[in-house]
A = this chain, B = another copy of it.
Amino acid sequence: MKYGRVYNFSAGPAMMPEEVLEDIAAEVLNYRGSGMSVMEMSHRSQVYQKILDDAEADLRKLMGIPENYKVLFVQGGGTVQFAMVPMNLMKNGVACYIETGVWSKKAIPEARRYGEVLVPASSADRQYSYIPDCSNLEIPENADYVYLCENETINGISWPSLPDTKGKTLVADQSSMFLSRPCDVSRYGLIWAGVQKNVGPAGMSVVIIREDLLRDDLPQYVPTYLRYKTHADNGSLYNTPNCWAIYCCGKVFRYLLDNGGLEAQAKRNEEKAAVLYDFLDGSEFFRATAEKNSRSLMNVRFVTPSQEEDAAVIAAAKAAGFENLKGHKSVGGLRASIYNAMPKAGVEALADFLRKYEKR
């Protein structure tokens, strides 16, 4: 790769498109004749307002976001959203969370601070290696919403289709699959995504929320910042936002539009993932852990016959220039995160390396 860059398989923060980084580097000292870095600009200036407006407009175009949805750029990632979702959406004080791995599981105790949480389906029985059948969930009449994590980064599983929420509002954490494929936003009440996996630098979430879910009548203890309405009413400028992240993400939105949109990106992602899964399925040494119909195209988790062998492969891969292949500490094994910005050549090189390693 150019500039001595490496294939970085980190689960997040993760790779960004090289063209986008080149563009950013060229603008650090003076953004398009403004005489300032984007980092130095008043968030109330015309030049910055255009950056923000363009980012939102491009994201709307990319995802086809209906007009009755607001797009919010909110500081913080999952930990903040785990609280904001129940604080803002629990009206009856009951919600259903589908437990499919570390990230959906982590959201549950935070939601329990604010109401009752039911878990109508879980894949804990087989180490979160699959998405459970959600065609006929037990969802109480007074449930405020059904929550899921659409791609579990750590176990490498992803929802093949959305659950039947029995008419209840669907809330999805899309952090690690955001913009990886077309998305019918109208099926969701709220989508949130920490941007540091598939879009830009850490420090922000994109929230897409249907307008009727914006509420004024929240409990007094909900801080101003943690009210979605605060951000919606002020075009994400109630306070100084993470201006830099919005700028960088805006460039990625534009990059995706210029490269065929989400249909084309989904095709590239399918091809990339197939390179790796096809190799793993044919291997006698490596094994993909996710069940076939739930495999993530973003995070490919796999193992060797032993933890010792896992560690040996990770070390050899690192020495060969493949960074961050170690699985999450909670599950071990190996994991190749191959988000939008990972070039196909990077996945092919990794598959090649693993093939040779196995032969040896």
Residues of A near any B CB (own CB < 8 A) = 1-6, 8, 10-16, 18, 21-22, 24-25, 28-30, 33-43, 45, 75-80, 82-83, 87, 110, 113-114, 194, 196, 200-204, 219-221, 223-226, 238-245, 248, 321, 323-324
Q: How many copies does the complex hold?
A: 2
Query: 3 shortest A-B CB distances, which residue pairs?
Result: A6-B35, A203-B242, A83-B223
Q: Which of B8, B221, B243 contacts A40 (CB 8 A)?
A: B8
What's the least CB distance linking A231 to chain B, in Å?
10
Residues of B within 8 A of A202 (CB): 39, 43, 240-244
Q: Which of B13, B29, B42, B75 contacts A39 (CB 8 A)?
A: B13
Q: Which of B113, B221, B241 contacts A203 (CB 8 A)?
A: B241
What's the least CB distance linking A202 to chain B, in Å?
4
Residues of B within 8 A of A323 (CB): 35-36
Contact (Cβ within 8 A) A221 B77: no
In the bound complex, how far is the Cα of B134 from the Cα of A253, in angstroms?
A: 52
Q: Which of B3, B30, B219, B243 contacts A5 (CB 8 A)?
A: B30
Contact (Cβ within 8 A) B5 A221: no
Contact (Cβ within 8 A) B30 A16: no
Contact (Cβ within 8 A) B10 A37: no
Contact (Cβ within 8 A) A35 B241: no
